[in-house]
Amino acid sequence: MTLSVLPVTGLPEVRRGDDIAELISEQTALQDGDVVVVAQKIVSKSEGRVRDLATVEVSDAAASLAARLDRDPRFIAAVLDESIRVVRDERVLITQTRQGFVCANAGVDRSNTGRPGAVTLLPEDCDASAVSLRRRLHELTQVSVGVVISDTFGRPWRNGICNVALGVAGMAALIDHRGESDDDGRPLETTVVALADEVAAAAGLVMGKTERVPAAVVRGLGDGVRGDGRGSDLVRPANLDLFR
Amino acid sequence: MTLSVLPVTGLPEVRRGDDIAELISEQTALQDGDVVVVAQKIVSKSEGRVRDLATVEVSDAAASLAARLDRDPRFIAAVLDESIRVVRDERVLITQTRQGFVCANAGVDRSNTGRPGAVTLLPEDCDASAVSLRRRLHELTQVSVGVVISDTFGRPWRNGICNVALGVAGMAALIDHRGESDDDGRPLETTVVALADEVAAAAGLVMGKTERVPAAVVRGLGDGVRGDGRGSDLVRPANLDLFR
């Protein structure tokens, strides 16, 4: 199995209401079994998940947190609006988002928003966005693909950000090897692989941060693309979380 | 830039003293600019980093921790022997290894060890192992490649394990975009990408856990393969670690 990771280039600046599936399918010849990885940023823009900081109301809590972190109070307020829980607020603000993700600034981002003073927010429901992208890609191309909506997250203990999967459709998010045996015939123990996160990371290698490559195609996963997982499968439930 | 990820198949069971560079170069035609990703497991085996649990001495601390976790006391003792610090010991044992990595069981692993009752340990110095593999590959093939020694780690907040880079040679481990601008001309803020971790994750997609694919070649990174980073670049220093 040889895997290819192809950047999708030539996309215009995405605006609210744009049909991302159409934009992508115009730029690339999709094949059955491909996984289309799309940066959260353009999904959010097409869904209108962009907020003008000037319109954000700043609570007292947001103001005092912003002062302590030396950040724009309206940016911090926008982050708190997207959060159900603050995980850490030293130096960086790490929260759990309404979607369940734990990440810096709740995924609220000032870069590449398309207009000054605006921030992008994560899609309201990344899995629903992935399902609808997948359906629309099928409608346009008659091709059956997996879809991953990705963003770059930092990690505890490790420097640097990595692309991870927020929304998943048409493929497994996790592959569970438990019950299988290793090459010595010994049962594999805790071997659930975060397939969709590895797919997102592979796509990250061609997507870049500054070039306009907001999507990529991962081709050749073979049996990797089956099942019908969700990005929410990748979110560890609170009762199993040792790093609250 | 299209990226290819090629599995390296046909490797024999690796034993202490085996020349992994030779085994890999016999199975695949390497090209300048390739990154060769090698599973920690076979590096450890070739370096003799395999321990018979029967010979492990169990301290009182290890015995009581093992009882609490319902694990083999000698396995837990072997983990503690590789650790400088226990990070969590509820349900799973997460420690910081002598190399600096924070992971489950200090990377000590009972699967695919090649002999019953044995565990593999992480290489003593993953970066040194990567440098020496890279040098030996050059000697054998006259080709200049990057090398990543990878292992699968769990992550806080997210289900499933992902391939990450422990040792790196002949390529950047991190790519620092700070100082560059986004597409709107706004300076990018905290945008240091964990390139070597994304490369490891991409390789993970073809390496699998149960098939005998302990190495992969990532081809087409282009400028991605330059610089001379280290796996240790990916380890967050203690003073910046919010999840001690």
- Tell me what ipTM this predicted complex has: 0.95
Q: What is the rounded average pLDDT of the residues B75-99?
A: 96
The beta-carbon neighbor of A235 closest among B158, B174, B210 is B158
Minimum CA–CA partner of B188 in chain A: A111
Would you say domain A50-121 falls under CATH 3.90.1660.10? yes
Tell me whether residue B66 is exposed, middle or buried, using C-beta atoms within 10 angstroms of its C-beta: 0 to 12, 13 to 18, 19 or more.
buried
The answer to whether A170 and A144 have CB atoms below 8 angstroms apart is: yes
Instruction: Read off the pLDDT band of B209 (50, 70, 90).
Output: low
CA atoms within 13 A on the CB side of B77: 17
- The pTM for the full model equals 0.95
CA–CA gap between residue A242 and residue A240 (Å, rounded): 6
Among all residues of chain A, which has the CA nearest to that of B204? A198
Hey, of A126, A157, A225, which one would you mutate to test binding to chain B, going by the most B CBs within 10 A of its CB? A157
d(CA B109, CA A75): 44
Residue A240 near residue A29, CB atoms below 8 Å: no
User: Residue A206 is nearest to which of B3, B102, B209, comparing CB atoms?
Assistant: B3
CA dihedral B195, B200, B204, B206 (to 10 degrees): 80
Q: With H, G, I as helix, E, B as strand and everything else as coil, classify residue A203.
A: helix
- In this prediction, residue A190 has a pLDDT band, given cuts at 50, 70 and 90, of low
The 10s digit of each residue's pLDDT in A27-73 is: 999 999 999 999 999 999 999 999 999 999 999 999 999 999 999 99
Please tell me which residue of chain A has the smallest CA distance to B5: A3
Domain boundaries, chain B: 1-48+123-235, 50-121
| The CATH fold of domain B1-48+123-235 | 60s Ribosomal Protein L30; Chain: A; (3.30.1330)
Integer-rounded Cα Rg, in Å, for chain B is 19
B3/A202 CB distance under 8 A = yes
Share of chain B above pLDDT 90, in %: 81
**Cβ-defined contact of A2 to B3 (cutoff 8 Å):** no
Please write the tens of the pLDDT for every residue from B156-189: 999 999 999 999 999 999 998 877 777 777 766 6
For residue B91, list chain A residues with Cβ-Cβ distance below 8 A.
240, 242
